[in-house]
Homo-oligomer: A and B are copies of this chain.
Amino acid sequence: MSVEDKRVKRLPREVREKQILDAAVRVFSEHGYHEASMDEVSEVAGVSKPMIYAYLGSKEDLFAACIRREAGLLMEAIAGGVDPDLAPDMQLWMGLRSFFEFVASNKQSWRVLHRQVISQGGPFSEEVLAMRTRAINLVDALLSRVATKKGMDDHAQKSTEAMSAALVGAGESLADWWLDHPAVPTRTVASWLMNLAWMGFGDMVEGNVWTPSAH
């Protein structure tokens, strides 16, 4: 009569898929794509291996599904934290804060996403690179808007894309550094990068710092 024996049995597909994805994110984030085994995923998920293949397809498919879900969450978090009517520097500021907040509360998601960004090879690299490109374009839209308004010359205009790539890379790297120094508050990390991006290091040592209040 008791429904709770040892394993909860015969749950609807939706629920199982979520459990599997959660387990996959965890396992992939711990070992990376190649070192992770489907057997471990199935064990962590509390479900036998054929279920995974039935519901989510091959290992690559499963990984792609993880990336898509987590990338969606990250992008959503950032987009939701930014008001597109604000001035560009404020938008950048809000975006950075949202990003670091996401990383702080979703370390595993971040690891899965960032870990495989570089190591190409698999067909899933498209998936991952796509989301990185989206991030760069997002920043580029901001920067080039500023550049145009301020009337930078053509040569400098071209540089905004490269700058965006650099900024995104700086953000990723800083996020990684932060994982090893969790004592630093979110706001502080975000402001460091904001200042580096907007004022540069040279200005900072002169005491010129960007603050959200003085828009």
Contacts and interface: CB of A to CB of B under 8 A. Distances in A.
A24 to B, nearest CB: 16
B118 A114 contact: yes
A190 to B, nearest CB: 11
Interface of A: 31-35, 89, 114-122, 143, 146-147, 150, 152, 156, 159, 161-163, 165-174, 176-178, 181, 184, 189, 192-193, 195-206, 210
A163 B201 contact: yes
A56 B167 CA distance: 39
Number of this chain's copies in the complex: 2
A166 B196 contact: yes
Contact of A203 (B143, B163, B172, B200): B200
Nearest to A197: B201
Contacts of A206: 150
